[in-house]
Amino acid sequence: MSQITNASDRTHFKTLTLAALGVVYGDIGTSPLYALREVFGSPHHPVPITPENVLGILSLVFWTLMLVISGKYVSFIMRADNRGEGGIMSLMTLALRGVGEGPKRRLILLLGLFGAALFYGDGVITPTISVLSAVEGLEVITPALKPFVIPLALAILVGLFVIQRNGTASIGKLFGPIMIVWFITLSVLGARSIILEPSVLRALNPAWAVGFLSAHPLLGFFSLGALVLVITGGEALYADMGHFGRKPITIAWFGMVLPALLINYLGQGALLLSNPAAIENPFYLLAPSWALYPMVVLATAATVIASQAVISGAFSITLQAMQLGYSPRFEVHHTSESQMGQIYLPAINWLLLAAVIAAVIGFGSSSNIAAAYGIAVTGTMLITNLLAFVVARNDWKWSLLKVLPCVVPFVIIDLAFFSANSTKIADGGWFPLAFGAVVFIVLTTWKRGREVMHAKLGQDAILLEPFIQSLSLGGTTRVPGTAVFLTGRPEGVPRAMLHSLKHYKVLHERMVIVTIRIFDVPYVPEIDRVEVKPLGGDFWQVTVQYGFKDEPDLPEALTHCAHFGLEFDMMDTSFFLGRETLIPRIGKEMAYWRVLLFSTMFRNATSMTAFFHIPSNRVVELGSQVVL
């Protein structure tokens, strides 16, 4: 039995490692398509192609991958897991543990939310630059195909977003094998070039990186703005940790991805040493002429996979934001019966597609959009470092002597990359910043608006216990059936209950007051899903508990109440929901434009009925007006 279990575990581990290759490393795995080309051939501060400069840049590439990805993410950041889950929203919730109300908590919230907002900017830039850079291989085959690059890229991207509604369950099985072929191809092409110019291996010596930065400090600083392209996708290692686990991601990185990337970058450098004119497109010119068409097809498939990972990440982070109360409710479709993480959000999908189309048409080439890429990536990486410092101090209880050596070097590196990319804001870096700023305003406005609205609703609230006691004096007719009232204030009488009593002059025989709590953990065990408390007079108080990655399903959760003596017959149960109409006015709590924005989002948010999977034919909505 033990041997069978061990064999099963090994098979499962291999499957996870293969899947991690396809999902986690799609973004960073396609960086060789454009990274070195942007360092040496970009119109923005290109590095002259000399043997010393090529070896210096390659040395920087090698040590950047080793320090930032291997050192920072694999060895340090991935330790900060929230019950196995990673990503900046999980890191933010970890950092907030034990932090009371005050400036420190607000700063952590602002950092976490802005980092999440920048991720959406990355979600627009990654599909654009990846697919464009792959399709631009047609220009290498023949310049006559250049007019077809933009239309073909747009067609591929539109198709990618259109098929999102079908989910990734079926095509996801192909991701791993395709990316294995991709990484093997990277290694073969790079090794072929290194054999012809083995002197390029000298770049592994860090002295070449130090020498380049010392000889050309200003040019070296500007080169970091393009060099950051070799580590785009680093956040995916941490963000996808909950899907695959730390060990499979680590094995895939050191076992295949890192060697393939290094060999290919060294191969491109070897090509530039022997033929500087190859800077036109060093990746595709590594391949023999007969292999160019297959390479364009394979590169396009790899970039579609890279784009898919970022798009799925945007869906996941939106769901987390909704659960944690930072985003209005959106329609959520679960595209897999077995994998909860595979979801599709139509509104987010079409918003990203519109932004991607605008980016493709507006920038026109992967070189132009490369200027916009680094600012979002480095901003998120820097914020991740700062939040990890808080987690190490507060959650892990590390001393300053232990945490500073683990954080300060990475903060310095990230600051250097971020500063270098900030010089390109006018050249395109403004795009992800503007996109992220809009998302940040939406997230913070929704959170603040909900707080203000709940405060207004609580001003004239009636305490629940005295209300129930008053009913025992008689005078209120009770009718058969069960009534469920949702409220965020379990100590008060739900407004929908007061309106029901006011209009119908009756109450149901059994009154159930339900409060839904979202905790800062990914999942809440089924055994802890509900807490039930009898209040007397056939009133019950139920608290339904979810993690920020759980799927809310209220009727399913209520079935757990049977263990506490509270059984539900859905055909005899009515759900009473409040529907508030917001009336904006100029006040002190929020700026008027934010009140208008919140009112618009509140009005267009997905209904509680759909979000909590409540049968629509069992719902009674009672309206009220709230002046903000």
User: Does one domain contain both 402 and 298?
Assistant: yes
Query: For 451, how many CA atoms within 13 A lie in the half-sphere containing its CB?
Result: 10
Cβ contact 391:441 at 8 Å: no
pLDDT score recorded for residue 536: 85
Alpha carbon 269 to its chain's center: 33
Residue 200: pLDDT over 80: yes
User: Does one domain contain both 495 and 565?
Assistant: yes
| Residue 499 token pair | 């309106």
Cβ contact 571:615 at 8 Å: no
- Name the most confidently modeled range: 181-185, 245-249, 390-394, 397-401: 181-185
Mean pLDDT of 129-145: 83
Mean pLDDT of 400-427: 89
| Residue 189 token pair | 């092409």
pLDDT score recorded for residue 338: 47
Ranges 11-20, 50-59, 283-292, 444-453: which has the least confidence: 11-20
User: Does one domain contain both 552 and 527?
Assistant: yes
Per-residue confidence at 60, pLDDT binned at 50, 70, 90? very high
Q: What is the average pLDDT value for the chain, to the nearest integer? A: 85
Residue 3: pLDDT over 50: no
Residue 32: pLDDT over 50: yes
- Helix, strand and coil percent figures for the chain, each rounded to 5: 70, 10, 20
Q: How far apart are CA 343 and CA 352, in angstroms?
A: 15
The amino acid at 53: N
The residue among 419, 445, 471 that closes a domain is 445
More confident position, 202 or 85: 202
pLDDT score recorded for residue 5: 45
Quote the pTM value: 0.81
434 in a structural domain:
yes
- Please list, in sequence order, all residues whose beta carbon lies within 8 angstroms of the beta carbon of residue 37, skipping any fewer than 6 positions away: 279, 281, 282, 283, 367
Residue 336: pLDDT over 60: no
Place of tokens 């991805």: 257
Mean pLDDT of 418-426: 86
Mean pLDDT of 7-19: 72
407: number of Cβ within 10 Å: 21
Q: How far apart are CA 232 and CA 125, in angstroms?
A: 11
393 in a structural domain:
yes
Q: How far apart are CA 181 and CA 330, in angstroms?
A: 37
Backbone angles phi, psi at 147, to 5 degrees: -60, -15
pLDDT score recorded for residue 4: 40
User: Does one domain contain both 520 and 391?
Assistant: no
pLDDT score recorded for residue 127: 87
First-residue to last-residue Cα distance in the chain: 64
Residue 353: pLDDT over 80: yes
pLDDT score recorded for residue 452: 86
| CA-closest candidate to residue 229, choices 431, 425, 124, 376 | 376
pLDDT score recorded for residue 605: 84
Q: How far apart are CA 274 and CA 272, in angstroms?
A: 5
- Please list, in sequence order, all residues whose beta carbon lies within 8 angstroms of the beta carbon of residue 380, skipping any fewer than 6 positions away: 88, 115, 118, 119, 122, 235
The residue among 399, 421, 445 that closes a domain is 445
Place of tokens 């908590």: 105
| Domain CATH code at residue 25 | 1.20.1740.10
The number of residues making up the chain comes to: 628
Cβ contact 488:537 at 8 Å: no
pLDDT tens-place string over residues 577-590 = 877 777 887 777 78
308 in a structural domain:
yes
User: Does one domain contain both 433 and 480?
Assistant: no
pLDDT score recorded for residue 342: 64
User: Does one domain contain both 414 and 472?
Assistant: no
346 in a structural domain:
yes
User: Does one domain contain both 465 and 320?
Assistant: no
Q: What angle do CA 524, 528, 530 make, to 5 degrees?
A: 110
In SS3 terms, 92-144 reads as HHHHHCCCCCCHHHHHHHHHHHHHHHHHHHHHHHHHHHHHHHHHCHHHHHCHH
| CA-closest candidate to residue 150, choices 307, 298, 366 | 366
479 in a structural domain:
yes
453 in a structural domain:
no
Q: Is 167 left (phi over 0), alpha (psi -120 to 50) or beta?
A: left
pLDDT score recorded for residue 212: 95
Residue-range definition of the domain harbouring residue 566: 460-627
pLDDT score recorded for residue 368: 79
Cβ contact 585:591 at 8 Å: no
Could you tell me where the DSSP H helices lie in 172-331? 172-196, 206-215, 217-227, 234-239, 241-244, 246-252, 258-274, 282-285, 292-323
User: Does one domain contain both 282 and 331?
Assistant: yes
pLDDT tens-place string over residues 169-199 = 545 566 778 889 999 999 999 999 999 999 9
451 in a structural domain:
no
pLDDT tens-place string over residues 262-287 = 999 999 999 999 999 999 889 999 99
5 in a structural domain:
no
Q: What angle do CA 15, 17, 20 make, to 5 degrees?
A: 110
Percent of the chain, pLDDT > 70? 94
The residue among 396, 416, 445 that closes a domain is 445
- Name the most confidently modeled range: 330-334, 356-360, 580-584: 356-360
pLDDT score recorded for residue 491: 84
Residue 466: pLDDT over 90: no
User: Does one domain contain both 431 and 576?
Assistant: no
Per-residue confidence at 12, pLDDT binned at 50, 70, 90? low
**Number of domains the chain contains:** 2
Cβ contact 301:124 at 8 Å: no
User: Does one domain contain both 419 and 484?
Assistant: no
User: Does one domain contain both 49 and 88?
Assistant: yes
- The enclosing H or E element of 378 equals helix 366-394
User: Does one domain contain both 401 and 271?
Assistant: yes
Cβ contact 320:153 at 8 Å: no
pLDDT score recorded for residue 335: 65
pLDDT tens-place string over residues 215-261 = 999 999 999 988 988 998 888 778 777 767 788 889 999 999 999 99
More confident position, 585 or 329: 329
| Residue 21 token pair | 């290759």
pLDDT score recorded for residue 1: 41
